[in-house]
Structure 1
Amino acid sequence: MGYRLSKIYTRTGDQGETGLGDGRRVPKDHPRIEAIGEVDSLNSQLGLLLAGLSEAGLDELSEVLGPCQHRLFDLGGELAMPSYQALNQAEVERLEAAIDLWNEELGPLKNFILPSGSALVAQAHVCRSQARSAERRCQQLNALEPLAGVGLAYINRLSDLLFVAARIIGRRQGLAEVLWQAATKP
């Protein structure tokens, strides 16, 4: 494959616009660019989580979450090129299967939990909340320009997977979940 980028700066965005894969120019604050940016931020946060999982020897979790970085890149491509479709229902089903498997081990959640306990648990929750933010941006775009394919379902399921991943990471680390405690009423 040839080079994807031969020059990092182009100066074409200096006036507040950027190009989409289909050749259109849009403002950098366009809902499509906002959605792409949120997906990109999630991918970066997921990379940080994966690095931590690798350092902790939690390769089983990395095997499930690692491919998600590639699929997020695919989703970014779909957002940048509206006629391009890379994700498919099998990817959504892969996430659902992992959620079901990990949930079987964890059992039901009896209370709200805090994004706490260890750096890895907290990072998984950062990824989860970033996935929710990306989903909201994609939904905002969808209201203006309907999105085709399974991207919305994928990002929704990924946030669910990341919640369950945070819980399973804590379990693998031998940590008790940090339960929310309601404020005492005056």
Structure 2
Amino acid sequence: MVVLNKIYTKTGDDGETALGNGARVAKHSMRVTAYGTTDELNAIVGLARLHAPEEMSAQLALIQNDLFDLGADLCRPDMESDSEAGYPVLRMIDSQTDRLEREIDAMNARLTPLRSFILPAGSPASAYLHQCRTVARRAERHVVELATMESVNTAAVKYLNRLSDWFFVAARIANDEGRADVLWVPGANR
């Protein structure tokens, strides 16, 4: 259980922060960048929820919880030492990605196929979902880069990859099931 009775600790004043295993690293480390970007994404998902229909808002709430799970996973390096932690270490699992895939398939079945690229615009919910999509892609790039340097749970990478797809399809749903998508017109302003 998490207890937060004091918000500032002053332990990060020197430019370092503690990881989930207690190790101290620079705040600009790739691991901190990776889980910090998932936290940024979670905040934008909260904004999207303000504009999303009820069913989608409920799905976004699940995603927000998943993103906290993802942050917990990423902030604890050294998956090999999980058994020595003395408590159950929270890691992303494939069933979280499987849920996203089922939801993508259900949403996509309501859409007509695209014949053009679309611009990140339309309804407020769609615009925020497109922002979620781009930040999810950035988080994925950071996690993939981290994986070239340190051990990373492959289920975390898979989840982020599928999550950006989820946001894309959800953005189309939020645009009157694609009917209000704003299409890209190549070279329109030449």
Match of 2:106?
101
Change in 2 beyond 3 A, CA 1:20/1:107: same
Which secondary structure state, in structure 1, belongs to the residue aligned with residue 91 of structure 2?
coil
Gaps of 5+ in 1: none
- What is the count of residue pairs matched by the alignment? 180
Per-residue CA deviation, residues 37-76 of structure 1 (Å, 9 max, x unaligned), is: 10000000001111222xxxx1111222220000000000
Question: What is the rounded CA distance, in whole Å, between the counterparts of 1:184 and 1:170 in structure 2?
Answer: 22
Percent identity for Structure 1 against Structure 2 = 44
Question: What is the rounded CA distance, in whole Å, between the counterparts of 1:184 and 1:166 in structure 2?
Answer: 23
After superposition, residues 87-98 of structure 1 pair within 5 angstroms as: 87-98=92-103
Which secondary structure state, in structure 2, belongs to the residue aligned with residue 107 of structure 1?
coil
Question: What is the rounded CA distance, in whole Å, between the counterparts of 2:135 and 2:108 in structure 1?
Answer: 21
1:116 and 2:121 aligned: yes
Match of 1:25?
24
Q: CA deviation at 1:155?
A: 0.7
Question: What is the rounded CA distance, in whole Å, between the counterparts of 1:168 and 1:8 in structure 2?
Answer: 39
Per-residue CA deviation, residues 109-163 of structure 1 (Å, 9 max, x unaligned), is: 1100001112211111000001001101111111100212401000110100000
State the TM-score, normalizing by the size of structure 2: 0.89
Amino acid at match of 2:140: E
1:168 and 2:168 aligned: no
1:135 and 2:130 aligned: no
Question: What is the rounded CA distance, in whole Å, between the counterparts of 2:153 and 2:128 in structure 1?
Answer: 30
Question: What is the rounded CA distance, in whole Å, between the counterparts of 2:179 and 2:109 in structure 1?
Answer: 18
Runs of 4+ in 1 over 2 A off after TM superposition: 82-86
